[in-house]
Structure 1
Amino acid sequence: MTGTTLFAPPPLTAAWRHLDARTGFEVAYFHPLPGGHRVEGCTTAVEDGHTWIVEYRIDLTPAWATRTAHVTCRTSTGTRHTILESDGEGRWRVNGEHAPHLDGCLDVDLESSAMTNTFPVHRLTLPVGAEVQAPAAYVRALDLTVERLEQQYVRTADPGRRYDYFSPAFGFACRLTYDESGLVLDYPGIAVRAI
């Protein structure tokens, strides 16, 4: 189900403090593009004794489906780069190679980012009580491997723009709270908005 957005345009910048699962900080910048949006950001973190930096540049359609994602990770063992490209209809290439395991995904979801949970809710217009499956191309933080991640969003109530989120692969469920621009304010166990 897609349609007119429930959200205002994003601010110029937003930031999140990561907690519990990792210690770190994420900053993102939002740019309007002719025919879409661009988000550029960076997360620095310590997780399970590992330090890492993940930088990203994600281009989106006007409906917030992912077109491309350029992701770079730096760790103590070196630097890695991954490029994801989508036709906007659920077919993907990863580093130039067709990735059929991602067929049907419209969003990229970075393990390193709280911001990327913005894309499905911004892209979909869900009435209160509605639920949707929103599988994503999931990019791991440390090695940038790309997996398919099944996800479900259920819009719970207004005001407050809250969604129940489920990720069966991780046995994870929480209630996500978004601001008027559709950016995550509270991602329990993962991150909270700093600005």
Structure 2
Amino acid sequence: MADSRVFTWEVTESSGYETSWIEVGRGSLRARGRAVGTVPEPYWITYELETCEDFVTRQLRVSAETAFGSRELDLRHDGAGRWTANGEPLPEVDGALDCDLGLCPLTNTMPALRHGLHLAPGEQPFLMAWVSVPDLTVRPSRQTYTHLGRTEGGAHIRYAAGDYRSDLEFDADGFVVDYPGMARRLSAWAGSATHGV
């Protein structure tokens, strides 16, 4: 049986909003989401995310709509460290375990859950397959997550990429509550799904 979550965030960086419908199983999750933003230009985003064991990304499918038309991305990880985008190899992100969809608080969850950084001290470096929004370009991104301390409802984790730093608040289940400068959660729902993930 999987646990279901529905979260809505105000995405302040894009002057928009995002809702994710998530199913979490033993070491894996599936999610679908919708986002609307007005910065850097008005856009709609639709995505589907699937991970395999240990919250390693298996596939991210994204559609983007802007005034200039629509774009599609099918980002896949073969489980052996190799990535493709719409069938084309992405050797610059080979070895990454996670996707990171721009302006999407959900994709901070997988590395936090894999290493239990929302539960206990630790610091982990990551190579991410980072997806720019709304153009859906995939680039390598080296990031570090550092557990800063527990809170009454979860933990603070520092996110760092290059010169950028932000101290994120996660809930006890490893999902972002507040991402200063980027997004803050407006609502949360939790329940159970009868099928597995």
Give the structure-2-normalised TM-score.
0.86
Q: Give yes or no for contact 2:27–2:54 (8 Å, CA) kept in 1.
A: no
The amino acid across from 1:120 in the alignment is P
Q: Give yes or no for contact 2:155–2:169 (8 Å, CA) kept in 1.
A: yes
Deviation at 1:57, TM superposition (A): 0.2
Q: Please give the alpha-carbon distance, in whole angstroms, between the structure 2 residues aligned to 1:181 and 1:35.
A: 12
Q: Please give the alpha-carbon distance, in whole angstroms, between the structure 2 residues aligned to 1:106 and 1:40.
A: 19
Deviation at 1:98, TM superposition (A): 1.5
1:37-89 residue CA offsets vs partner (Å, 9 max, x unmatched): 211001100103x1011111011113111000101100000000010110234
Deviation at 1:10, TM superposition (A): 5.6
Aligned residue number for residue 64 of structure 1: 55
Judge which range, 28-37 or 77-86, deviates more. Answer: 28-37
Gaps of 5+ in 2: 188-197
Secondary structure of residue in 1 paired with 2:107: helix
Judge which range, 95-104 or 9-18, deviates more. Answer: 9-18
How do 1:44-63 and structure 2 match up within 5 A? 44-48=36-40, 50-63=41-54
Aligned residue number for residue 150 of structure 2: 158
Aligned residue number for residue 128 of structure 2: 136
Of 4, 26, 43, which aligns to 2:18? 26
Aligned residue number for residue 185 of structure 1: 177
Q: Please give the alpha-carbon distance, in whole angstroms, between the structure 2 residues aligned to 1:88 and 1:124.
A: 18
The amino acid across from 1:12 in the alignment is R
1:135-164 residue CA offsets vs partner (Å, 9 max, x unmatched): 211111121110001100011112431111
How do 1:6-45 and structure 2 match up within 5 A? 11-19=4-12, 21-32=13-24, 36-45=28-37
The answer to whether 1:107 aligns with 2:98 is yes
Q: Please give the alpha-carbon distance, in whole angstroms, between the structure 1 residues aligned to 2:28 and 2:110.
A: 13
Q: Please give the alpha-carbon distance, in whole angstroms, between the structure 1 residues aligned to 2:20 and 2:102.
A: 15
| Structure 2 CA distance for partners of 1:34 and 1:180, relative to 1, 3 Å | closer
Judge which range, 106-115 or 119-128, deviates more. Answer: 119-128
Using the aligned pairs only, state the percent identity: 31
Secondary structure of residue in 2 paired with 1:115: helix
Deviation at 1:32, TM superposition (A): 4.8
Q: Please give the alpha-carbon distance, in whole angstroms, between the structure 2 residues aligned to 1:81 and 1:123.
A: 28
Deviation at 1:128, TM superposition (A): 4.1
The amino acid across from 2:97 in the alignment is L
Q: Which has the higher contact order (CA 8 A, sep 6+)?
A: 2
How do 1:69-148 and structure 2 match up within 5 A? 69-126=60-117, 128-148=120-140
Secondary structure of residue in 2 paired with 1:143: coil
Q: Structure 1 or 2: larger strand share?
A: 2
Q: Please give the alpha-carbon distance, in whole angstroms, between the structure 2 residues aligned to 1:34 and 1:69.
A: 19
Q: Please give the alpha-carbon distance, in whole angstroms, between the structure 1 residues aligned to 2:25 and 2:87.
A: 24
Give the structure-1-normalised TM-score.
0.87
Q: Please give the alpha-carbon distance, in whole angstroms, between the structure 2 residues aligned to 1:33 and 1:66.
A: 14
Q: Please give the alpha-carbon distance, in whole angstroms, between the structure 2 residues aligned to 1:71 and 1:63.
A: 22
**Number of matched residues?**
183
The amino acid across from 2:36 in the alignment is T
Aligned residue number for residue 3 of structure 1: none
